[in-house]
A and B are shown apart, each in its own frame.
Chain A
C-alpha cells in the first residue's frame, strides 16, 4: 500500500503542546471539610467564578492515608505574587469564617483537546474533557475509507505541484466530498497569467470536472518530495512556490510573453475557477445573496454544514429568478460559494490564501507541507483559531512518514 504510511493530523485553532508541557496557571486552593463542600462551592461560584477556567473542576477528591480528602479552588493567584492578602476581601472573609488554610497549586490553563492531554491535566488538578463536537468530519478521526479518499486527492495535488517540470509550484484541488467529485483544480499562475479568463475556464473544467481517476491517483506522487516538501530531485526548485515566497520577485523571464501576477496563488486561482463554474452551471438563479449569510452569521458561527446551502433565504428576495421546483438543478443543490467543499493544497497557504478560503466558505483544508515562512494555518499565523472571523474551517496536514520516502526510493520510482 503506497499510502499506508501517510498520516492525517488535525491542526487545531490553538497551538498544541506536548501533553506533559501544557501551560498552567496558579490558584489558591484549600482542603475543606466534606460536609461543607456544597455550601462552599455555591458561595465560591458566586463570589469568585472561574470564568476563564471552565474546564477546571472546582473540587478535587484525593485519597490521603486511606481517607477521602476534598480540596476546593478559591481563586486565581495575583499576577504579581502568591500573597494571601492579594485575595479579594469577601474571599478572605470566607477563608477566616470556615477556617480554611489556602495553599498555592497549579491547574492547566487551556481545556484539553485530546484524551492524552486530559489525562496529564488530571495529575495536576482534575479537569473536564469534551471532545470536539463541531460538525466537521475528520476532527475526531478518519475511517480507513475516508483516509483513502484523502490520500488519493493529496496524491493528485502533489502530482499537479510537480507538473510544471523542475519548477515546483503550489497546487490546489477543490472537491465536493458529498459526491466525491473534483470541482476544479489549479496551480500557481504567478508568472504565466493568462489574461483570457474564458480560456482558462474551459481548460480547467474540461480536464478536471470528471471524478478523480484511479490511474492518476494511485501513482506515488510522494516519491517526488522529501519529508519537508523539498523536492527529491536536486534539479527541482522551490523558489517559485507562491505561498512560500509571497514577497519574492520572480527571476526575470526570458520570454517577453510571460505575464507576472503576484497574487495568482493556486488557491486564489482555484476559487476563481470554481466561481466561474458556478456561474456557468447555475446561470439564472439570481445573485448569490451573501448578505443573508453575513447577517445570519453575526451571532452564530457558521461552521461548515454542507446541508446548509442557501437555506437562509431573505424574506424580501425576489424569487422570480428561481427555477421551478421540478427542475433538475434545484436551488438547494446549488452551492453557496464553496460551502461544504474541501480544498487540497501541496503547501500550507499564506495569509492571503487562507483568508480567501474563509471568505469562500471552504469546509476543510488539507495540505501536505508546512510553510514556515508565511503559513497562516499554524506556522506563522493561525487563522482557524481567530474567533472573530465569520466562518471557520477545519485544517489537516497530511503527513508523509520516513518509511514512505524510503520505501519509494527502494522501489526505484523516484523522479
Chain B
C-alpha cells in the first residue's frame, strides 16, 4: 500500500513540475505565470499557460487554453460529443494555482475528473477559497446539479508562489510588494 501511495504522490509532483514548466514559459512571455497540464491514463495530453496579455483577453487562463486545445484536437480526430464528454471524465488537471471562479466552473461544465493545484488563490479561487464550484455537496446543491470533481491543493505550492514573486519583481520594481502573491490563475 505504502509504495503505491508514494508512487502516486511521486507522479503527482512530476506532473506538477510540468505545469510549473508551463508557468515558466508564461513568465518568459511576460504573462502572469500560471501553467497547467491535462493528464489522461498517466499521459500528458494537453498543456496550457496564461495568455491574457498577448490576447488582450483576460479569460485566456492556462486552464482555458488547455481545454480549448484538447477540444480542437479531439474534434479534428472526429470524436463525437458523447466521446468528448467521456474523455474529459477520465482527465486530471495539474495547475500551478487554484483555478479561479471562471475556470472552476468551466472545469465542472466539461466534466473533468480531478484537479491538483499548487498555491491557493485567495482573491479569485473557485475551488474552496471564494466559492466551492468543484463541490456539488455545497450549500447550493439543491439548486445546482452540476458535476463535481475531486480537488487537492498545496502541490509544490512554494514553487508556484516564487514564480509570482519573480513576476512582480520583474514587472514593476517600484511597486509595493503585493499583499497577496496570487493574483490570477
Measured CB to CB, the residues of A under 8 A from B are 191, 193, 195, 246-247, 249-250, 252-253, 259-263, 268, 271-272, 275-276, 278-279, 287-292, 294-295, 298-299, 314-316, 337, 350-356, 358-361, 372-374, 380-381, 383, 386, 388-390
Contact = CB atoms under 8 A, between A and B. Distances in A.
A289 B102 CA distance: 21
B81 A253 contact: yes
B172 A291 contact: yes
Contacts of B172: 291-292, 295, 314-316
Contacts of B173: 316
B55 A247 contact: no
B105 A290 contact: no
Top 5 nearest A-B pairs (CB, nearest first) are A275-B57, A355-B102, A359-B58, A352-B105, A355-B101
Q: Chain B CB within 10 Å — which of A298, A351, A361 has the most?
A: A351
21 contacts: A195-B72, A246-B105, A252-B80, A259-B75, A261-B71, A268-B59, A287-B54, A288-B53, A288-B56, A315-B172, A316-B174, A352-B109, A353-B102, A355-B102, A355-B105, A359-B184, A373-B143, A373-B145, A374-B146, A389-B130, A390-B123
B30 interface: yes
A18 B72 CA distance: 49
Interface residues of B, number: 58
Interface string B49-70: 0001111111100001001100
A39 B103 CA distance: 55
Contacts of B58: 271, 290, 337, 356, 359-361
Contacts of B146: 246-247, 374
B56 A279 contact: yes
A273 to B, nearest CB: 10
Interface stretch (B2-10, B16-24, B175-183): B175-183
B84 interface: yes
A2 B54 CA distance: 44
A22 B91 CA distance: 46
A3 to B, nearest CB: 32
Interface in B87-119: 100-106, 108-111
A298 B184 CA distance: 12
Contacts of B82: 249, 252
Contacts of A278: 56
B42 to A, nearest CB: 25
B131 A351 contact: yes
A253 B52 CA distance: 33
Given A288-B56, A290-B53, A298-B180, 11 more contacts: A246-B146, A249-B81, A260-B71, A272-B57, A279-B55, A279-B56, A287-B53, A291-B32, A291-B172, A337-B56, A351-B104
B167 interface: yes
Contacts of B104: 351
B109 A294 contact: no
B106 A352 contact: yes
B109 A314 contact: no
A113 B80 CA distance: 51
B40 interface: no
Contacts of A294: 32, 183-184
A262 B110 contact: yes
B106 A389 contact: no
Contacts of A380: 140, 143-144
A353 B102 CA distance: 7
Contacts, number: 151
B126 A355 contact: yes
A254 to B, nearest CB: 12
Interface of B: 30, 32, 52-59, 64, 67-68, 71-72, 75, 80-82, 84-85, 100-106, 108-111, 122-124, 126, 130-131, 133, 140, 143-147, 167-168, 171-176, 178-180, 183-184
A107 to B, nearest CB: 27
Contacts of A247: 108-109, 111, 145-147
Nearest to B173: A316
A262 B71 CA distance: 9
Contact of B102 (A288, A314, A351): A351
B175 to A, nearest CB: 5
A249 B67 contact: no
Contacts of B130: 386, 388-389
Contact of A291 (B55, B171, B179): B171
A363 B174 CA distance: 29
A201 B43 CA distance: 35
A373 B144 CA distance: 6
Nearest to B140: A380
A350 B72 CA distance: 24
